[in-house]
Amino acid sequence: MADNAIGVIELIRSKEIDEGQSVDFKSRVDLKNPESKSTLIQATVAFLNANAAHLYVGVREGKDKTFERFEPYTGSADETCRQLQLILQDGIDPKPIGIVVEPVPVDDGFILDIMIPDLRMRPYQAKATGAFHIRTGRLNTPIPRDKVLSMFTAFSEYQAAAVALMEREDEMVTARNPQMPSHAVTLHMAIVPSEHFEQDRTSFTGRDAPMQPSGWRHWHDAFHTFSGCQNGFETIQHDMNGQPICRLFVGDDWLVHSLVAYPFAAERSGRVTVSEFEDKLKNHLVQLEGFMEKQGIRGPFAVAMKVDGLQRDPKVAWLFPNTSSKQMRSAKWVEKLSDADLAEDFHRMVLTASRYGGY
pLDDT in tens, 220-243: 766 667 888 999 999 888 888 888
Report the distance separating Cα 15 and Cα 65, nearest Å: 11
Say what the pLDDT of residue 281 is: 94
User: HSE-up of 241 (CA within 13 Å, CB side)?
Assistant: 6
Say what the pLDDT of residue 359 is: 46
User: HSE-up of 216 (CA within 13 Å, CB side)?
Assistant: 20
Contact 272/265 with Cβ under 8 angstroms? yes
- 268 pLDDT tier (thresholds 50, 70, 90): low
Report the distance separating Cα 309 and Cα 186, nearest Å: 6
Report the distance separating Cα 278 and Cα 273, nearest Å: 11
Report the distance separating Cα 295 and Cα 228, nearest Å: 17
**Residues comprising the chain, all counted:** 359
Angle between helix 340-352 and 277-294 (nearest 10): 150
Contact 163/257 with Cβ under 8 angstroms? no
What is the average pLDDT score of the chain?
A: 87
pLDDT in tens, 46-87: 999 999 999 999 999 888 888 999 999 999 999 999 999 999
Among 146, 162, 273, 253, CA closest to 200: 253
Superfamily assignment of 3-150 in CATH? Answer: Schlafen, AAA domain (3.30.950.30)
Contact 283/187 with Cβ under 8 angstroms? no
User: If you average pLDDT over residues 164-186, what whole number do you get?
Assistant: 89
Contact 104/10 with Cβ under 8 angstroms? no
More confident residue, 211 or 355: 355
Among 122, 165, 161, CA closest to 143: 122
pLDDT in tens, 280-301: 999 999 989 988 888 888 888 9
The domains of the chain are located at 3-150, 155-352
Report the distance separating Cα 87 and Cα 75, nearest Å: 18
Q: What is the share, in percent, of the chain residues with pLDDT greater than 90?
A: 53
Report the distance separating Cα 84 and Cα 55, nearest Å: 12
Q: Name which of 80-84, 157-161, 273-277 the model is least confident about.
A: 273-277
Report the distance separating Cα 254 and Cα 158, nearest Å: 13
Contact 198/298 with Cβ under 8 angstroms? no
- 208 pLDDT tier (thresholds 50, 70, 90): low
